[in-house]
Chains A and B, each alone.
Chain A
């Protein structure tokens, strides 16, 4: 490079532009590669919306019908793409409406940046109109948050926000910007954040821990892998598959780990946890080595900790040191990013097959097949089951759909029976169990991955928690497929009432509206199915439809999800009926 070009380059990089804080917000988002954001305007965020109007060719704003919908859409966007989802709202109620989605993103490690407007800085603390202390409210449910009161802070703080949201163990970040900071001018330059001195996103991996883990895996006679979302978040699907295939490790998944490898992979032994598969739950208490990869031993996974895998040694591959020994004491913790640690582990492993041990999984699967799965998927009784609907969706999508589920019975059924052949295909609210998640999350997922088929599977209860997002579908024409499995009950709570509260169905029976009429009110194609013989044709019509489609399926009213580990029971005491 000659001197002239160097000078020009330097000039180019140091050139600043005098712009408003609100324009700086939008330019910062564009600099971070944000193409879509979800939100709802209001007084304290109006200057930013004014800029979004000007920049609409470069960045698309999707108007949701409620701020909670904006966060779940941003989550759906993030979960299917691996990119940071962005939600924006005004101060006060706009900001508080974001909290559920933020809490959901925090517990499910979803990268998200939320921007809220705030009253003018001279009004802070005065109970001004639409003032809430959203920084205090969001502190326990954000990975980081920050209030901006000066325009000059905007580029640097937003750069930090995106860096923190997506690095290490991802999570939600909230940035609150006072209205005067949005109006104020600044000299704008944008530099991406690459490090923060007090923040170490990925801990160092010790070679000793890798050797120790490899030794335990090589010596194990009955190893069991339980993997979680860490495999997906670390983009370690290939490395993970190579490890389990080389060492012949039977591998089970947590709800958020689903789809990291294909459902029908011979080493995939199913889901662990409360409504997981029989074999991996029972054999958790028989394995001699439990290899946890990117998972956090949630209580829904472990059941009673006092009787969880006590006979086994435990190896934990984990990016977040605070998760190690939090719930289950480990013998070897391998800290670091799953992609790196699994890559380094591979050459240390011996080839193995563990055939006898695998046979045990197959034998127990047979029991589950006879006692549970066949009844779910090939029912002979009159009422439609949730399982056969999921099976039909698998069939007609060729197992290629991304499944966005809500929370409850249908979620467990969807996760148990959906067929996954591509990673990041199971989008659901795992840790927080947020009813109302699926509809807006499906919107975000479809927008982030327009070439993928996105099917939301939702219960009649959760559907009505964010049903207003049909308006977002109507306005954006996003072609999501919505399947409501309607049993006219809050099914999972009803199941618990049946099993543990002597069938006292307190407030779980729902009187539902005409869902088809509601969908049609939003000009969404809609159909209702009540009989088995109508199901296949209806699912086919839905899958063939190029537009958004709503399908309501009336399913058996009082069906239960099994297997089930009752609260406080051991994983090996899982019930089949």
Chain B
């Protein structure tokens, strides 16, 4: 019986070590789970990395995966959250022909209404940046598509939780 799947944001605090990405992603791979997006960055704590991984699984599966992530030696703590538990954003860049900006007035309206911004303009192209929810980005994509998008890229989700995570306390307790 297929258990009900939903989107979860997995947050993993880790030591900053070479090879840890392999070790964490292998846990998803061996269960044949596709990672929707992944972002690795510094965190609020010096020397501690933060993975933000988006996956679509059942809660039962989610719990088992968290256990297997947490038992990795260099993982400090792993959490999972639903969209309701987090404040999250994704961001993207569109590269579009500069002519359009002047010839198609509508593009300027689209930029304004979508709360995106122009990062750079030169003779050949201009670049629009947009941060927001995935559906907002998808809407902007659909709106710009008819004019011709030279390049498009969307970054992985980043998210902070509504509840505190208290990693610092955990690390202090160790010291």
Across the interface, B75 reaches (CB within 8 A) one of A135, A147, A198, namely A198
Mark out the residues of chain A between 275 and 331 whose CB falls within 8 Å of any chain B CB in the assembled complex.
320-326
Identity of the chain B residue whose Cβ is nearest the Cβ of A197 in the assembled complex? B174
Please give me the residue from chain B that is nearest to A320 by CB atom. Answer: B71
Docked complex: A129-149 residues within 8 A CB-CB of B: 135-136, 139-140, 143-147
Cβ-neighbour of A322 out of B64, B74, B175 (below 8 A): B64
B90 proximal to A (CB < 8 A): no
Q: For the side of the interface on A, what is the size category?
A: 20 to 34
Decide: A197 and B171 in contact? CB cutoff 8 A. Answer: yes
Query: Given the complex of chains A and B, what is the CA–CA distance between A197 and B22 in angstroms?
Result: 21
Partner of A326, one of B18, B22, B67, B73: B67
Q: Which residue of B lies closest to A136 (CB)?
A: B22
In the complex, whether B70 has a CB less than 8 A from a CB of chain A is yes
Q: A140-B26, A164-B73 are in contact. Are A145 and B19 (CB under 8 A)?
A: yes
Among A143, A195, A197, A324, chain B packs the most CB atoms within 10 A around the CB of A197
Q: Return chain A residues, CB-CB under 8 Å to B15.
A: 197-198
What does DSSP make chain A's interface, helix, strand, loop or mixed?
mixed
Among the listed B18, B71, B76, which residue makes an inter-chain contact with A197, where contact means beta carbons less than 8 Å apart? Answer: B76
Please tell me if A500 contacts chain B, counting CB pairs below 8 Å.
no
Of A136, A198, A320, A323, the contact of B74 (CB 8 Å cutoff)? A198
Instruction: List the B residue with the shortest CB-CB distance to A326.
Output: B64
Closest CB in chain B relative to A196 CB, distance in Å: 7
Closest residue on chain A to residue B20 by CB atoms: A139
Q: How far is the CB of B41 from chain A (nearest CB, A)?
A: 17
The residue that B64 contacts in the complex, of A199, A320, A325, with Cβ under 8 A, is A325
Contact B26 A139 (CB under 8 A): yes
- Whether the Cβ atoms of A139 and B68 lie closer than 8 Å is no
Given A140-B26, A144-B73, A322 and B19 touching (CB < 8 A)?
Answer: no
B162 contacts the other chain (CB 8 A) = no
- Taking CB atoms, residues of chain B closer than 8 Å to A195 are 174
Query: Is there a chain A Cβ closer than 8 Å to B30's Cβ?
Result: yes
CB nearest neighbor in A for B173 = A197
B26 engages A322 (CB within 8 Å): no
- List residues 214-262 of chain A with CB under 8 A from any CB of chain B: none
Decide if B14 is an interface residue (CB 8 Å cutoff): yes
| B112, CB-defined interface residue at 8 Å | no
Complex contact B74–A147 (CB within 8 A): no
Given contacts A139-B23, A139-B26, contact A198 B76 (CB under 8 A): yes
Alpha-carbon gap, A323 to B67, bound state (A)? 8
Q: Which residues of B contact A143 (CB under 8 A)?
A: 73
Within 8 A of A (CB), among B59-110: 63-64, 67-68, 70-71, 73-76
Contact B26 A325 (CB under 8 A): no
Chain A neighbourhood of B75, CB < 8 A: 198
Closest to B27 in A: A140
With the chains together, A324 CA to B68 CA distance in Å?
Answer: 11
Pairwise interchain contact A196-B19, C-beta atoms closer than 8 A: no
For B63, what are the chain A residues with a Cβ–Cβ distance below 8 Å? 325
Q: Tell me the residues in window 148-180 of chain A with beta carbons closer than 8 Å to chain B beta carbons.
A: 164
Indicate whether A322 sits within 8 Å of B76 (C-beta atoms), given known contacts A139-B19, A140-B26, A197-B171. Answer: no
A562 CB to nearest chain B CB (Å): 32
CB distance from A221 to the nearest CB of B (A): 30
Residue with the greatest number of chain A CB neighbours at <10 A, chosen from B15, B23, B71, B74: B71
Interface residues of A in 65-95 (CB under 8 A from B): none
Interfacial residues, chain A to chain B (CB-CB below 8 A)? 135-136, 139-140, 143-147, 164, 195-199, 320-326
Q: A197-B175, A198-B75 are in contact. List 4 more A-B contacts (CB 8 A).
A: A144-B73, A198-B76, A322-B67, A324-B67
Q: Could you tell me which B residues sit within 8 Å of A by CB distance?
A: 14-15, 18-19, 22-23, 26, 30, 63-64, 67-68, 70-71, 73-76, 171, 174-175
What are some 24 contacts across the A-B interface (CB < 8 A)? A135-B19, A135-B22, A136-B22, A139-B19, A139-B22, A139-B23, A139-B26, A140-B23, A144-B73, A146-B19, A147-B18, A147-B19, A197-B15, A197-B171, A197-B174, A197-B175, A198-B76, A320-B71, A321-B70, A322-B64, A322-B70, A322-B71, A326-B64, A326-B67
A-B complex: 6 closest residue pairs judged by Cβ atoms: A322-B67, A197-B174, A198-B76, A144-B73, A140-B26, A199-B73
